[in-house]
């Protein structure tokens, strides 16, 4: 659930959003464009947002620390009425932790906007347990992308999806209608003190304002992909009833950070409606992150380490295909029946 980014990215911008559309949103673009923008906030510094989008421009490999993607930086966007996917990273992360998945979605005709969560990122952990901040930030990102960003004229406000991993997996469930009860954390941690979420909470108790804040739900979210969601138990038996949109849910069978049945499995058992559930055999928690292209610093090697015999690159080829297919089915050609979860 916790990872510290190890990268250096220069902001990439473009003034090409007024270019004529060349392909419809349903068509696969030749490539993925990429840029980093700053989302203004009225009560704090701007939020860093990585954006992937369809383009016909030629791409080239681009490093994001030990991760990477193959994109056309600052290239013209193609398409009109494009569906939007917002991405929420895990505790201590940054916008680029799922760059390969974002690239795959952009090549399939989606615009992907991934924020670096204020107060819960690799540089700033000051509000790492203020969980109500997260869905509020994701909702604000949706509003900015649709109403004020340089891409607003290219987006279809009726086709918005959300992808999240770990704390981000919890975030997208809450933003889509889930009502968590933070009071359940203390009871959970009495019996699971060695779990990562309990160690984090012990070292950084939730601030008082986060305990009284209400969860922000965003009805603009029409489909959700949640990978290895944190704090699944906090929704209780009834807290997921407010989620009425299609959900694709992922669990790592050998999750060493969020072990057992109180996280993804709890969501699976209590979602109360058909959903697309995947248990990845042999996977660990961080296998949902983009495969590493280069070795990270020694203290961060756990982010790139998979179990012996588990091929993270092969898994991601399937993972990205499944995620892209799900969002395509639900946002581009909605109404397709989900498998029974």
The answer to the question of residue 244 being in a domain is yes
- Per the structure, how many domains does the chain have? 1
Separation between Cα atoms, residue 63 and residue 142, nearest integer Å: 26
pLDDT for residue 210: 85
202: in domain:
yes
Per-residue pLDDT of 113-160, as tens digits, reads 999 999 999 999 999 999 999 999 999 999 999 999 999 999 999 999
Question: What range does the domain containing 133 cover?
Answer: 31-332
What is the rounded average pLDDT of the residues 310-315? 97
Q: What is the DSSP letter of 338?
A: P
17 Cβ partners below 8 Å, 6+ apart? Answer: 76, 77, 150, 151, 153, 154
Instruction: Judge whether 17 lies within some domain.
Output: no
Task: Note the pLDDT tens digit of each residue in 209-237.
Answer: 988 899 999 999 999 999 999 999 999 99
Record the tokens describing residue 42, joined without a space: 């009225």
- Residue 8 within a domain: no
CA atoms within 13 A on the CB side of 32: 24
pLDDT at 92 over 50: yes
**CA–CA gap between residue 268 and residue 338 (Å, rounded):** 14
Q: CA torsion 293→295→297→298, rounded to 10°?
A: 140
Q: Does 337 fall in a domain?
A: no
Q: Is residue 48 part of a domain?
A: yes
- Give per-residue pLDDT as tens, 314-332: 999 999 999 999 999 999 9
What's the whole-model pTM score?
0.91
CATH number at residue 248: 3.40.50.1820
């Amino acid at each position: 659930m916790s990872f510290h980014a190890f990268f250096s990215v220069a902001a990439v911008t473009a003034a090409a959003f007024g270019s004529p559309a060349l392909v419809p949103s349903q068509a696969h673009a030749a490539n993925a464009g990429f840029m980093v923008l700053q989302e203004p906030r009225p009560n704090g510094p701007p939020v860093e947002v990585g954006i992937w989008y369809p383009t016909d421009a030629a791409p080239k490999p681009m490093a994001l620390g030990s991760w990477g993607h193959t994109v056309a930086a600052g290239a013209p966007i193609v398409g009109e009425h494009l569906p939007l996917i917002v991405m929420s990273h895990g505790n201590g992360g940054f916008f680029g932790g799922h760059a390969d998945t974002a690239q795959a979605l952009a090549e399939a005709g989606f615009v992907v906007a991934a924020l670096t969560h204020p107060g819960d990122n690799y540089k700033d952990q000051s509000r790492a347990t203020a969980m109500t901040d997260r869905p509020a930030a994701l909702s604000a990102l949706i509003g900015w992308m649709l109403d004020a960003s340089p891409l607003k004229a290219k987006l279809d406000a009726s086709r918005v999806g959300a992808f999240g991993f770990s704390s981000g997996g919890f975030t997208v469930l809450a933003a889509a209608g889930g009502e968590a009860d933070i009071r359940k954390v203390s009871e959970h941690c009495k019996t699971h003190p060695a779990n990562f979420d309990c160690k984090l909470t012990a070292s950084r108790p939730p601030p008082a304002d986060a305990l009284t804040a209400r969860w922000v739900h965003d009805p603009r979210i029409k489909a959700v992909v949640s990978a290895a969601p944190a704090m699944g138990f906090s929704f209780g038996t009834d807290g997921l009833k407010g989620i009425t949109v299609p959900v694709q849910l992922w669990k790592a069978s050998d999750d060493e950070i969020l072990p057992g049945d109180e996280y993804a499995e709890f969501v699976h058992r209590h979602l109360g409606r058909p959903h697309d559930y995947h248990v990845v055999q042999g996977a660990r928690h961080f296998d949902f992150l983009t495969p590493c292209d280069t070795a990270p610093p020694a203290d961060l090697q756990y982010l790139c380490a998979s179990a012996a015999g588990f091929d993270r690159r092969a898994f991601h080829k399937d993972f990205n295909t499944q995620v892209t297919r799900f969002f395509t089915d639900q946002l581009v050609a909605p109404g397709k029946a989900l498998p029974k979860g």
